[in-house]
Amino acid sequence: MKTFRTMLKTEIMISLRGMDMFIFAICMPLVVLIILGIIYGNKPAFDGAEYTFLQQSFGALVTISICAGGVMGLPLVISDYRSKKILKRFQVTPISPVIILTVQVVIYTIYALLSLLLIYITATNFFHYQLEGSWLHFLFGYFLVMLSMFSIGMMVGGIAPNIKMASIIASILYFPMLIFSGATLPYEVMPPALQKIADILPLTHGIKLLKGASLGLPIDHVLMPIIIMIVLAVICIGISIRFFKWE
């Protein structure tokens, strides 16, 4: 526990000094929220809709931070520590690799939760947002999306041969997901052809799940996304554990 606490504290400091996660995981989702809030305000999501545009987008906005941390932050930090031989130094100490990885996962979880809180507070106070569905369902979906996104990141960090490859793979995963899965650009305003492409991205399903939960839609709408998220997490975690390398 002592090891975990000290490492967590230090790694948080190092991460904050880097600033990039503060920008991508904390500021960026907030900026997108404010833009959407100003443009669409409390207009209904579509003619005759029972919920507002912002209510529809809330589930998407909270995934921006998860995506930044899981798909960009995690794989980069893991492969960076491997290529800088920091993991190799840890290999000749009594620490378990599980602790090293858990510390990073916890850091990106903190970023994501902080972003969720900030988005929620801003949306309720400035844009009269209300969560229609149950918080319980929403948080279940939220952590499921987080689990699957983080597992993708762990896998990329685990199998990428060097930091350059990790950064290329992370970019290939991150930017399309950020733009086309509905996290920033709302899925609903995309033309149907683009929606079809978006459906390939795992985050699109995560966002559907969160939308369903935040709007209080019946569970059968979200069964498929739940299954996809779980299967993805199991596969990626399995691969990253199987192929973990110190060096």
Give the residues lining the site for other proteins (CB under 8 A).
2-3, 5-7, 10, 13-14, 17-18, 81, 84-86, 88-96, 246-247
Complex with other proteins: residue 13 or 179, whichever CB lies closer: 13
- How many degrees, rounded to 5, is the angle at CA 70 between CA 66 and CA 73? 115
Compare residues 6 and 162 and give the one whose CB is closer to other proteins.
Answer: 6
Closest approach of other proteins to the CB of residue 245, in Å: 11
Task: Give me the least distance between CB of 13 and other proteins, in Å please.
Answer: 7
Q: Kindly tell me which of 7 and 30 has the beta carbon lying closer to other proteins.
A: 7
Orientation of helix 74-83 relative to helix 163-180, angle to 10°: 180
| CA 125 and chain centroid, separation | 24
Identify residue 138 by its one-letter amino acid code: F
Q: Which is nearer to other proteins, 94 or 218 (CB)?
A: 94
- 73 to 26, 106, 114, 171: CA distances (angstroms): 13, 12, 16, 11
- Smallest separation, CB 22 to other proteins (Å): 13
Q: What is the DSSP secondary-structure string of 111-152?
A: HHHHHHHHHHHHHHHHH-----S-HHHHHHHHHHHHHHHHHH
Is 100 or 149 the residue whose CB approaches other proteins more closely? 100
With beta carbons less than 8 A apart as the criterion, state whether 67 and 138 touch.
Answer: no
Report CA-CA distances (Å) from 2 to 6, 95, 102, 105, 173. 6, 11, 14, 17, 35
Short-list 17, 12, 108, CA closest to 64: 108
Query: What is the nearest approach in angstroms of other proteins to the Cβ of residue 69?
Result: 18
Rounded least distance, CB 14 to other proteins, Å: 5
Smallest separation (angstroms) from other proteins to the CB of 36: 34
Inter-residue contact 64 to 29 (CB < 8 Å): yes
